[in-house]
Amino acid sequence: MVCEKCQKKLGKVITPDPWKTGARNTTEGGGRSVGENKALTARKNRFNPYSGGSFAKCRICKSSVHQPGSHYCQGCAYKKGICAMCGKKIIETKNYRQTSV
């Protein structure tokens, strides 16, 4: 769960989206070149275990966060109703029965 502002920060996928309307990884939108191998050119979007860096920890429950640039895990972001990347309140969860199971 990310807000509209953080939607632009998300990484691109390797395979093109079959539904081209609104896709960020097609040739028409400027996101992908023809004949480009995304597995070789997009090294910043992949995790390298030998670089010395590790996955970030959630600020609430201290579990590992696998999405690059996020500060909160998906479960905590859902329960609190906040953006997983910046922590901005997205939805008011006062009258909801929130569960992570």
pTM of the complete model beyond 0.75: no
Q: What percent of the chain has pLDDT over 90?
A: 23
Token code pair at residue 4: 């509209």
Per-residue DSSP letter, 19: S
- What is the tens place of the pLDDT at every residue in 52-99? 667 889 999 999 898 878 999 999 998 899 999 999 999 888 888 877
Q: Backbone phi, then psi, for 77, in 5-degree steps?
A: -65, -35
Confidence of residue 43 (pLDDT cuts 50, 70, 90): low
- Mean pLDDT, residues 9-23: 65
Domain layout of the chain by residue ranges: 1-9+55-101
From the number of C-beta atoms within 10 Å of its C-beta (0-12, 13-18, 19+), residue 53 rates as: exposed
Residue 56 near residue 66, CB atoms below 8 Å = no
Q: Which of 4-8, 10-14, 18-22, 48-52 has the highest mean pLDDT?
A: 4-8
